[in-house]
Chains A and B, each alone.
Chain A
């Protein structure tokens, strides 16, 4: 009888569990047996134009703790503080939490990881994550920017192209064993979609050459800042871009905003005499002035009405070519009077000043150029000399490229392709012609004038042995906070192209507050060295390509 009652109770209980409690208990069992895990996608790689990696992902351990399992918290905090170089109070505070999981340090170095493992402290553990790393350290750092701890782009191309690079996370429901340990057996899974890779127009070798020369000048002339852009004038592809001061994106937490800022697109400045290329192009295109027309340069000082103009060296009669070659302010002002404000303004706009170039980099500013109706009496003389206008280095690179390539303003671009992880091209960025600025004939004539600048004018230090080059020097006074022009703060610049007959590179070099300050002295040699080595390298690259194709 007793047996029957016991059996009945058991059957009753089983029925109760099966009929009324099954859903609830199955839910609890599911939670115990299954583990939902978000699967992190692999962030896309950034390559240079030759598919050399500029930004990659490497595995990194992140250290966590289960404070409830740690016996001696004080000793643990002290040991970890020494290894991780983290404030001991921070660790104490973390370890005192009554939680089963707290992060102590994310993405530590392999050495730190090994040292912590050696301590063999119960309650500490590692989770393998991936860390964004930049094998070339500071090279092209301001272009690429950097990604944060959660692999989200925070600066530069990492930020602009984050939607391509980051990918889409997946998820999986893994089984767990009796000890709640995750097993690599999944019940359901949605694979993560890895991020796409970027192929840039940047060439690592040219980038290195540009940074090497810029760095030398930046240090030698004790400048406050410096910028260089090397561009393919026919396509607008940026081959190299660098700024000083700079930073190592692997240690970006130690950098300040000044080092991270991409001055080439974010900073606007009065360009000074390099802007005379606009007046020269306008004068020749409009057929109002020819290269041989002569201007009297008043022996270095001229009362132009609203202001007294000075040349850095006294000149008498100069042809228009010589006016540009010798960078005479008086000659340029007299030419500007012939052109008038409307024509000058039209060409400034045609060359792309006052609007963003549309380059695929973040933080670009448009610069400033006022409409002629807002010009003062002084503006007609000032604007052609590069005063009362604000431009970016990128705009100057586009403008000099337009002269170098026969008159077409190209949109600068830095990302060539977006590829998936198998190397298939997902998206391609082609050169874009913005507009025709000047005729090919005018461009050729302006190029000849700019050759004169390098051969016999203010830019002789840009002369390359065995190669022709054209360019323009600039020495712009900076504005003081009170609105007056400074007498000891200058921007020394050089914009140019080489070889003059069929330009392979257009280069812009800017040095902010160098000592000495003349653009022809500080920036022209940088142009010379960069253009010479870059062209030599490009020729070599082309030759090797021909040889390998022939094979």
Chain B
């Protein structure tokens, strides 16, 4: 009786120990997985940061000036602010206008132009 009690205690203790070890190994396994994913995430985040930096750098006025310094390109004398906008009124009217484009006009035009509104009036 005593022996079976001792054995059952030992078995349960062993099971508990094994469960604990398993838990620990699981923690580490998941740790490795999360670390791998974190590394990928960090890499992507870093690439994104560098990309944004490069966009900022390339679109900076100083960079554009350097880029255009040797070319014929010049800024216009009179600045005009343009804003792409839908035609006023019923938005369907815009679509109707677009539909008026015939087969031949569509064939010979490069692409439909954006509707622009001059704001410097």
Contacts and interface: CB of A to CB of B under 8 A. Distances in A.
Interface of A: 52-53, 56-59, 110, 128, 133, 135-139, 175, 177, 183-185, 204-205, 208, 212, 536-537, 540, 543-544, 547
A185 B53 contact: no
Contacts of B49: 56-59
B56 interface: yes
A136 B62 CA distance: 6
Contacts of B31: 175, 183-185
A547 B50 CA distance: 34
Contacts of A205: 61
B75 to A, nearest CB: 10
B34 interface: yes
Interface in B53-69: 53, 56-57, 60-63, 65
A184 B56 contact: no
Given A58-B49, A135-B60, A536-B79, 11 more contacts: A59-B46, A59-B50, A133-B53, A136-B61, A138-B62, A139-B61, A139-B62, A175-B28, A183-B32, A184-B34, A212-B65
Interface string B5-40: 000000000000000000000011001101100100
B27 A185 contact: yes
B42 A128 contact: yes
B119 A56 contact: no
Contacts of A58: 49-50, 53
Nearest to B60: A136
Contacts of A53: 56
B81 interface: yes
Nearest to A547: B119
A383 B113 CA distance: 65
A139 B65 CA distance: 12
Identify whether the interface residues of A are mostly helix, strand, loop, or mixed: mixed
B56 A135 contact: yes
A58, A212, A544, A547: residue with the most chain B Cβ atoms closer than 10 Å:
A58
A56 B50 contact: no
Nearest to B24: A175
15 contacts: A56-B49, A56-B53, A57-B49, A58-B50, A128-B42, A128-B46, A136-B61, A138-B62, A139-B61, A184-B31, A184-B35, A204-B61, A208-B61, A208-B62, A544-B83
A154 to B, nearest CB: 21
B62 A547 contact: no
A134 to B, nearest CB: 9
Nearest to A212: B65
B28, B50, B61, B83: residue with the most chain A Cβ atoms closer than 10 Å:
B61
A462 to B, nearest CB: 20
Identify whether the interface residues of B are mostly helix, strand, loop, or mixed: helix
A211 to B, nearest CB: 8
A547 B83 contact: yes
A540 B81 contact: yes
Contacts of A128: 42, 46
Nearest to B120: A543
A59, A137, A177, A204: residue with the most chain B Cβ atoms closer than 10 Å:
A59
Contacts of B120: 540, 543
Nearest to B65: A212
Given A183-B31, A184-B31, A184-B35, A135 B57 contact: yes
A137 to B, nearest CB: 5
A543 B82 CA distance: 11
Contacts of B63: 137
A516 B61 CA distance: 30
Interface in B74-121: 79, 81, 83, 119-120
A57 B53 CA distance: 9
Contact of A540 (B42, B65, B79): B79
Given A135-B57, A208-B61, A544 B81 contact: yes
Nearest to A56: B53
B53 A135 contact: yes
> Top 4 nearest A-B pairs by Cβ distance?
A135-B56, A208-B61, A59-B46, A135-B57
Nearest to A59: B46
A284 to B, nearest CB: 38
B56 A183 contact: no
Contact of A139 (B35, B53, B60): B60
Contacts of B62: 136-139, 208
B53 to A, nearest CB: 5
A177 B28 CA distance: 8
A133 B56 CA distance: 11
Contacts of B83: 544, 547
A156 to B, nearest CB: 18
A543 B120 CA distance: 8
A224 B50 CA distance: 37
A57 B71 CA distance: 33
Nearest to A130: B49
B60 A543 contact: no
B35 A543 contact: no
A56 B61 contact: no
A136 to B, nearest CB: 5
Nearest to B57: A135
Nearest to A204: B61
A528 to B, nearest CB: 15
B51 to A, nearest CB: 10
B49 to A, nearest CB: 6
Contacts of A543: 81, 119-120
B56 to A, nearest CB: 4
A536 B56 CA distance: 24
Contacts of A177: 28
Nearest to B34: A184
B79 to A, nearest CB: 6
Contacts of B56: 52-53, 56, 135
A536 B57 CA distance: 25
A208 B50 CA distance: 23
